[in-house]
Chain A
């Protein structure tokens, strides 16, 4: 029923001599939330960092195999990562707003990509992004204040607003709630529910409950291998694999 937005085929990742991902074949559906679960160090984050080529930052990291978005090979050496990252936004584990004003945090992306030529266009983008990330009402009177003066949950929503300010197609979220309290977490989850109408979302999470609440599809990683993937309901109610069963019931991990 849904279109496949991102398709990985035999994706392998190496950090120096150590292999971090083994032949991962995973399809991500358009305008859906895919949750990636698994114990620490299993390769979930490594996988999503392949989608926006964030692994390029690490000198010793080597990626082989195929990963495609709308038929375009992401792993192509000649691909311009700048335009890729314009289409694939990312939210990190720890909120990392720039130590600049709230306004500048959001307007930075559009500015470098040449979106929003005039001040009023930029104002509009900032307002829309903040509204989409459900932060507008809280900060509209203090856009000049530093982004770092916000609370942790607000900072994370600011980072989400920053990611959607360049109007991407895909948003990657690397444990976006791990540094937040339950109330802030609930807000972010609500927001994810709303954002999936517009964006394809991949979320790495350590919380089973969160995966159940926000995702339609879940992939379970273990030791660099994708063990099982399927509809979230199925994975959590009736997994095919014994290891998945053990992990979601808390027997290891």
Chain B
């Protein structure tokens, strides 16, 4: 082979490699785009809800309370009759059957929504106001265009008559889309239009908080001890190997461990953020120790020697110089560990967080859900409304993860000191 031929061959190899590299990046990007596009197109409509603006007349005869009633009185009062009387006037129905079909277009919370309006202003008796009442899931999906109306009636959840009412509402501009506060404030529900991630958000928050409080101090102290103080011998090596092994243990194993020890033996309450937090802390511990030790190791020995040489004790050299320098790396490692814990589903399913919880937990020992488990739960539901809610929950989860990772990168770049 001549020199020119060899040279050509080398250039060809380089070009080939560039092509392979670009292709793989392109394929990876394509997958990401497909995923994000899919989630967005399905999920973005969940942030809006369909409302039917309805005139509500507060008839004294149908209410057993007076104007100026106290909050407790209103809470106890029955608003059912008021609701029925007003809702059936929303469309000129001819008989009982038609009225029943009309009522099904409103959400199961219509009574509560009317009660809330009265709670805001307790002098409404004898007056008529216009309220935006949440529509049922079927109308919601129909109005968002997620529901094909050209199917034969027996294959539709909405009857022909209900379609007539819907068209009447549209014609009279009584139907519109509002910001979906229920999605953020409510707990889980059997009715998709009322279901929200409020409970899951609070549950995830408590779980991650407990995970942070348990895992961070233990991981940091363990790393500092192992890296700076522990004698270098076989036992230390053994511990190091096992920490690395623990980081690779499938998360479901931690769930089994928690099931046996925390729930069966110690008998902590099931389905609670407390147990979830402890389980996630166990899982996250080695995942924080590894980056933490790496950032301690990255501090050059000359800094330690410099401190020791002016008479600092070992403890002072570590805590005055090494730890502050390792802190950015430690913090970003912790945040990334927590981000992983936030998205963890399998161990939480094992400790019972997969239960159907309507109430928003008020403390870490209340039964609760969490964001990834909520995704899992809703993805199994048949109703169309839950499809968009599943995707919207994934969007929320992903945005939390992106924010956390962004903070981690920011901390590392901003506070990482350079030495030469």
Contact = CB atoms under 8 A, between A and B. Distances in A.
Contacts of A108: 307, 310, 312, 320
Contacts of A162: 306, 310
Contacts of B308: 54, 57, 85
A17 interface: no
B305 A112 contact: no
B419 A85 contact: no
A57 B312 CA distance: 13
B177 interface: no
B307 A57 contact: no
Interface in B10-54: none
A101 B306 CA distance: 15
Contacts of A86: 310-311
A163 interface: yes
Interface stretch (A20-28, A87-95, A215-223): A87-95
Contacts of A90: 305, 309
B306 A85 contact: no
A112 B300 CA distance: 21
A213 interface: no
Contacts of B419: 99, 148
A52 B316 contact: no
B302 interface: yes
B321 interface: yes
Given A59-B231, A98-B321, A92 B309 contact: yes
B420 interface: yes
Interface string B55-69: 000000000000000
A94 to B, nearest CB: 6
Contacts of A59: 231-232
**Most A Cβ at <10 Å: residue of B305, B309, B321:** B309
Given A92-B302, A92-B305, A148-B418, A99 B311 contact: no
Nearest to A90: B309
B362 interface: no
Given A99-B325, A148-B420, A112 B312 contact: yes
Contacts of A52: 309
Instruction: Assign chain B's interface to a size class.
Output: 20 to 34
B417 A54 contact: no
A94 B231 CA distance: 27
A98 B310 CA distance: 12
A57 B308 CA distance: 9
Contacts of B311: 82-86, 109, 112-113, 166
Nearest to A164: B310
A134 interface: no
**Most B Cβ at <10 Å: residue of A90, A112, A165:** A112
**Most A Cβ at <10 Å: residue of B303, B304, B307, B311:** B311
Contact of A112 (B231, B304, B316, B325): B316
Given A109-B311, A112-B316, A113-B311, A98 B306 contact: yes
Nearest to A85: B311
B302 A163 contact: no
Given A54-B305, A85-B308, 15 more contacts: A59-B231, A85-B309, A90-B305, A98-B303, A98-B306, A98-B321, A99-B303, A99-B418, A99-B419, A108-B312, A108-B320, A112-B316, A112-B320, A163-B309, A165-B310
Interface of B: 231-232, 300, 302-313, 316, 320-321, 325, 417-420
21 contacts: A57-B304, A57-B308, A82-B311, A82-B313, A83-B311, A84-B311, A85-B311, A86-B310, A86-B311, A89-B309, A96-B302, A96-B303, A96-B305, A96-B306, A98-B306, A108-B310, A109-B312, A112-B312, A148-B418, A148-B419, A162-B306
